[in-house]
Copies of this chain bind each other. A is one copy, B any other.
Amino acid sequence: MSEQTIQLGHGGGGLMSRDLIQSEIVTRFGGGMLKGLPDGATLPMPAGRELVFTTDSFVVQPLEFPGGTIGDLAVHGTVNDLAVCGAVPRWLSLSLILEEGLPLSTLRRVLDSVKRTADDCGVSVVTGDTKVVARGQCDGVYINTSGIGEKMDEFDLSAGRVSPGDHILVSGSVGDHGMAVLAAREGIRITHGVVSDTGPVHRLVQASRPFARDVKFMRDPTRGGLASVLNEVVEDQAAGILLNEAAIPFSSGAKGVAEMLGVDLLQVASEGRMIMIVAASASEAVLSAWRSLPEGRDAARIGVVTDKKGRVILETLTGGHRLVDVPRGELLPRIC
């Protein structure tokens, strides 16, 4: 293509659209089902297997931040949603909303990161869509990825199975993604070196598979952070949660930015972490399996399930206790 930025005509369904799709999408994703560009992808189904279906739109700003781009964030986000539902991620759709004037070089870097991340996660982009809106009607690129995975039979996941004595595990430091994006936006990244944790959790799920019957709940703590996920678990349940602040892994970079801005890291999004609630008897085995993976190297047991109905309590470093609240509104807009 001769144009070096996205034009409205790239979204019109005519020759310019076809050129864009051929040169940027088919070259990257057209090896398989996407080749003939049908309106939909036909997927072979293994007999009698349940599927998991999920969707996420991504509007993160900036499009590129320390540790990742909107492209790998989208793939990880959808892969992770499938994984925490107990599914093996298989197929993704990729739908782009592009702003007129977007540099093609930016689009290419984003698509490269989608491709690289999908390959790393073992998922295929099989169908897609591209729209273009005029300048000022979106902010560079918005991406929707929907995903389909094959449910693993072993897992029986539900907040209702969580009971006092169960252990709360986390696969690594929390809040890095939110702090990295915020720092990039505020121009403070150089001082503190905080890097997004954007990454996949499906290998952590695979590693837990031998202990599946002792796994009661899993979730990746995105918007609203650890605080939102744990409060959601115990909402309307007979159980509560006691967290041990000393045991929660935080990176020094995220801590630095959070302190500077007065933000509670428990309420900040991660994009490549797993929270799992397991029977106490399986806790060490799961942690040890996780720690054998790079993405689980800093895994830790951070708390226990209690009988304090519906309450999430933090035992602080100084031995005090405080309630862990769900944030009300928006701490950090456009974090994912």
Contacts and interface: CB of A to CB of B under 8 A. Distances in A.
- Of residues A12, A40, A52, A59, which shows the largest number of chain B Cβ atoms within 10 Å of its Cβ? A40
Interface of A: 7-18, 38-45, 47-59, 81-82, 84-85, 87, 91, 93-97, 126-129, 131-134, 136-139, 142, 144, 146-149, 151, 219-220, 222-225, 228, 267, 269, 326-334, 336
- Please tell me how many copies of the chain the complex holds: 2
Contact of A132 (B16, B269, B333): B333
Given A133-B139, A328-B15, A53 B43 contact: yes
10 contacts: A11-B330, A12-B223, A13-B223, A14-B223, A16-B329, A43-B53, A55-B127, A97-B97, A131-B336, A144-B146
A129 B91 contact: no
A39 B331 CA distance: 22
Contact of A327 (B14, B55, B146): B14
Given A8-B330, A14-B328, A333-B133, A85 B54 contact: no
A231 to B, nearest CB: 9
Contacts of A87: 40
Contacts of A228: 13-14
A114 B136 CA distance: 27
- Of residues A53, A91, A144, which shows the largest number of chain B Cβ atoms within 10 Å of its Cβ? A53
A211 to B, nearest CB: 21
Nearest to A128: B55
Nearest to A235: B18
A336 B57 CA distance: 18
A323 to B, nearest CB: 14
Contact of A45 (B16, B49, B327): B49
Contacts of A329: 7-10, 12, 14-16
